[in-house]
Amino acid sequence: MRPALAALLLTLPLLSGCATDSGGAWVELRGQRYTVEVADEHGERARGLMFREQLADGTGMLFVHDEPRPLAYWMKNTKIPLDIFYFDASRKLVSVSRGVPPCSLGDRCPPYPSAGPALYVLELNAGQAGKLGTQPGDEIVFGPGIPERGRP
C-alpha cells in the first residue's frame, strides 16, 4: 500500500504540470476570451487543426510565426469550418477569412491569404468574426505564456 501511495504522490506534480501546459493559454479579441492551443513550431503550424472533428465553443488555435510576412492558410484535411484571423507584429488585425469551408481535396485545397504581412494567425469556429464585429486594426490581447515575436 505504501509504495502505491508514494508513486501517486510522486506523479501528482507531473500531472498538474501537464494540465497547466495544455489548458492555460488564452487570447482576447474585442473583449471575448478564447482558450487556445499554441502552434509556435513548424510541425505544429503545419498540422494545425487537421483531422479534428470539432472545435469546442470558446476555443481556438493560435499560430505564432517566426517573422511577419504575407501568409496564406488552407484547409487541407480540416473538417471544421473556420474563421481565420491574421494579425501583424503589433497584434493588430490585418484581415479575416470568414466561414472558410472544410476541404478534403488534399493539395488542391485553395489558399486563403492575408491582406498584408502577418505574424500571428488565430483560427476560431466559423461565425465568430461576425459575432464579434471584428474590423481591421482590432488588437488581440495575449494571456501569459504566449510567445511574442517582433513586437515593436
**All three cell numbers of 37:** 492551443
Write the CA distances from 94 to 62, 77, 103, 136, integer angstroms: 15, 25, 24, 5
Q: Taking the CB of residue 77, how many other CB atoms lie within 10 A of it?
A: 17
- CATH fourth-level superfamily of 24-142: Protein of unknown function DUF192 (2.60.120.1140)
CB 75 within 8 Å of CB 101: yes
- pLDDT for the residue numbered 104: 87
- Of the candidates 79, 68, 60, the residue with the CA atom closest to the CA atom of residue 132: 60
Q: Is the C-alpha dihedral spanning 29, 64, 151, 117 positive or negative?
A: negative
What's residue 10's pLDDT? 36
Q: What gap in Å lies between CA 9 and CA 77, rounded to an integer?
A: 41
- What pTM was estimated for this model as a whole? 0.82
Domain segments of the chain: what residues? 24-142
Mean pLDDT, consecutive 10-residue stretches, the chain (152 aa), reads: 37 32 81 96 90 95 96 94 97 98 92 97 98 97 86 54
* pLDDT at residue 150 in the model: 62
Q: Give residue 151's pLDDT.
A: 55
Q: What is the structure's pLDDT at 85?
A: 98
**Residue whose entry in the numeric block shows the C-alpha cell 482576447:** 28
